[in-house]
Structure 1
Amino acid sequence: MQLSFKDYHIEPIKISDAWPLCNFAVANEDRLKRYFPKTLRQNLAPGLSGFFVEKMVKSFNQKEAFLFTIKEKGSNQIAGLVYIKDLDWTKKQGEFAYCIGYQFEGQGVTTNAIKVLSDYAFDSLALKTLQIIVHKDNLASVSVAKNNNFIWIKTLENEHTPPGEAPLDMELYELYHEIE
């Protein structure tokens, strides 16, 4: 499976992504450490990335969590990652979590990736509700949610605790599948 938009393609994580994922994590360590500390910690060396990718491929195949890479066409460089996680198959609900490499920020890559993957989640996974949980000061991430018609629902108190920081309140946005 491969989804495309503009100069990028999105595909499920695969074993051969271990080394490029390590490169992505190390190059974007400052960007990942606050909101993706576990992903960062598990990808700071090629061997660690190998174990991480194996675990994520297994999770994908078992429909426990879906990790996608956003890659630049041509170079095949990882530009970003998108998770569909915290799946509740009874409620048909999942949460997006995403990060973009510093050199790709501000180009609409994440917004386009969430659009494409929202369609995939509704059409292929049969989810009915998609969530994005962001900190109010992460304006780029808030814009991704709003640009994809996610609606602000509420503030989640003490929802996320970054390493070495006090717990943060986070904002919950949701998008619902409309059957026409």
Structure 2
Amino acid sequence: MLLDSGTYNIEPIQGKDAWKLCDFVISNAERLKRYFPKTLEQNSTPDLAAIFVTKKVNQYSDKEEFLFKLTEKEHRTIIGLVYIKNTDWDNKQAELAYCIGYQYEGKGFITQSVKELATYAFEHLGLTTLQIVVHKTNMGSVKVARNNGFTWQKTLPKEHTPPGEAPLDMELYVLTNREHKFS
């Protein structure tokens, strides 16, 4: 699957992406350390990234978790990631998690990618509910959720513990396939 969004592509992570993924996480380490510490840790060297990518390709194939890369068209550089994770096939729901490189922030790439991948999740994976879990101070992420029709449901007490910090309350946003505007 490949989605062409004009200046960038959205596609599943592939085995050949280990070096590019390592470059992405290292150059965005400061941005990723609080909300994506495992992704950062597991891709901190090219060898670790190769193991990570192999695992994610297998999880995609097994329909456990779906990791998509956003790649800039001209140089094929990874500029962001979107996960469809915590998939609950019995309840037909999953969580979306996303990050964007510092130089691409605020350009609408994640908002558009979440829209495209929500459509993919509903139409091709058969999911009926998607969730986004964000910290209330992460206004960019809150804006992505709201701009895509996700509605705030509740606060999740002590849901996420960043490295070296106390547990944080997180906000749960939800979108159902009935509310999603397919385009």
Q: Matched residues in 1 for 2:143 and 2:47: separation? A: 35
TM-score w.r.t. the length of structure 1 is 0.98
**Cα distance, 1:152 vs. partner?**
0.3
Find out whether 1:23 has 2:23 as its counterpart. yes
Find out whether 1:140 has 2:140 as its counterpart. yes
Partner residue in 1 for 2:47: 47
Question: Which aligned segments of 4 or more residues in structure 1 are displaced greater than 6 angstroms?
Answer: none
Q: Matched residues in 2 for 1:117 and 1:103: separation? A: 22
TM-score w.r.t. the length of structure 2 is 0.97
Find out whether 1:114 has 2:117 as its counterpart. no
Find out whether 1:8 has 2:1 as its counterpart. no
What is the CA deviation profile of residues 97-150 of structure 1, one whole-angstrom value per residue up to 9, with x for unaligned ones? 100000000000100000000000000000000000000000000000000000
Consecutive unaligned residues of structure 2, counting only runs of 5 or more, are: none
Q: Matched residues in 2 for 1:40 and 1:78: separation? A: 14
**Cα distance, 1:6 vs. partner?**
2.3
What is the CA deviation profile of residues 28-48 of structure 1, one whole-angstrom value per residue up to 9, with x for unaligned ones? 000000000000001010000
Partner residue in 2 for 1:88: 88
SS in 2 for 1:165: coil
SS in 2 for 1:69: strand
Consecutive unaligned residues of structure 1, counting only runs of 5 or more, are: none
Q: Matched residues in 1 for 2:164 and 2:170: separation? A: 17
CA RMSD, 1 decimal? 1.1
Residue 77 of structure 2 aligns with an amino acid whose one-letter code is Q
Q: Matched residues in 1 for 2:163 and 2:173: separation? A: 24
Q: Matched residues in 2 for 1:4 and 1:97: separation? A: 20
Percent of matched pairs sharing the same residue: 58
Q: Matched residues in 1 for 2:4 and 2:119: separation? A: 12
Find out whether 1:69 has 2:69 as its counterpart. yes
